[in-house]
Amino acid sequence: MSSAGSEEQATINEEESTVASELTRNGEVTGYRHDGLEVDPPYLYPDYVSTRTRAPKRPLVPLAHTLSEVTGPVYGEDRIGELDHDLTRQYEGEPLGERIIVHGRLLDQDGKPVRNSLIEIWQANAAGRYRHDGDRHPAPLDPNFAGGGRAMTDDEGRYEFVTIKPGAYPWKNNPNAWRARHIHFSLFGPAFATRLITQMFFPGDPLFFQDPIFNSVPEPKDRERMICRYDHDRTVPEWALAYEYEIVLRGRQATPMED
């Protein structure tokens, strides 16, 4: 491009950014989509006993997104250590259990990758015990497993963790209650409005039928999407089974001021 051309381009860019910041000053924001949120559980789900005293009783107030909700925390790559995504290499020795790879993409509702976004996970060890003072389950702790990790998605929204398959464990929700095996996932996405905490489950778990947290999601097809898929192509021979888990966050509305 000629130097005159670049100058012209620079002027256009400057004009565009002036227009964009003028829109921001005037409170013209494009909110995040509200459709599709019916996949979420209700606050009150009596079978999950803790919701009875923690679910709000008054109706929630709708909040049309402002600049405050379409912005959100930006985590830099600098916060992530090289081994933070590998829960099997945090100690001298290796943790006990079935080593697995959990990988996938973080997408929005339009199928676009959510790039450079922080993912945090935590889980029980192979025996179904969390390394947490509050966990009284009489199963052994593993000196080589803390159970937490984090990763950033790449330019295509991809992430990968190496961990061990968590065990099932009992809880006191009701007699003989057991949690299906799961890994907790915390996602940020680009904005306050896209924040999500969820749990990833494993295919074929016999405990699904009696797990009220899993079943709090109203539609069976939506529960299915919390279950990862065994991925033979990504399984590493003589080393680890792989599971693919795609996560979808809210997408952007098409035009400003839609709601």
Partner 1 sequence: MPALTPSQTIGPFLRIQVPYEGEERMVAENDPDAIHIRGTVYDGEGEIVDDALVEIWQANRVGRYAHPEDNREELPLEEGFTGFGRCATDSEGRFEFITVKPGRVPARGGGLQAPHIDVSVFARGLLKRLVTRIYFPDEAEANAEDPVLSSIEHPKERDTLVAIPQEGGLRFDIHLQGDGETAFFVV
What are the DSSP calls for 24-35, one per residue? HHTT----B--T
Site for partner 1 in 148-207 (CB under 8 A): 148-150, 184, 186, 191-193, 195-199
Catalytic position from the list 32, 45, 48, 130: 130
**Residues 208, 214, 215: CA angle, nearest 5 degrees:** 85
Contacts of 188 (CB under 8 A, 6+ apart): 72, 73, 75, 117, 118, 194, 195
Cα-based distances in Å from 93 to 87, 143, 211, 237, 241 = 12, 8, 33, 21, 20
Helices of type H across 72-229: 212-215, 220-224
- Is residue 138 a contact residue for partner 1 (CB under 8 A)? no
Task: Pick from 2, 25, 155, 233 the residue near partner 1 by CB under 8 A.
Answer: 25
Task: Pick from 47, 72, 170, 229 the residue near partner 1 by CB under 8 A.
Answer: 72
Least Å from the CB of residue 2 to partner 1: 28
Task: Pick from 114, 127, 217, 227 the residue near partner 1 by CB under 8 A.
Answer: 217
- 172 versus 232: smaller Cβ distance to partner 1: 172
Is 243 a residue of the active site? no
Size of the site for partner 1 (CB under 8 A): 85
Catalytic position from the list 33, 85, 182, 223: 182
Active site residues per annotation: 130, 169, 179, 182, 184
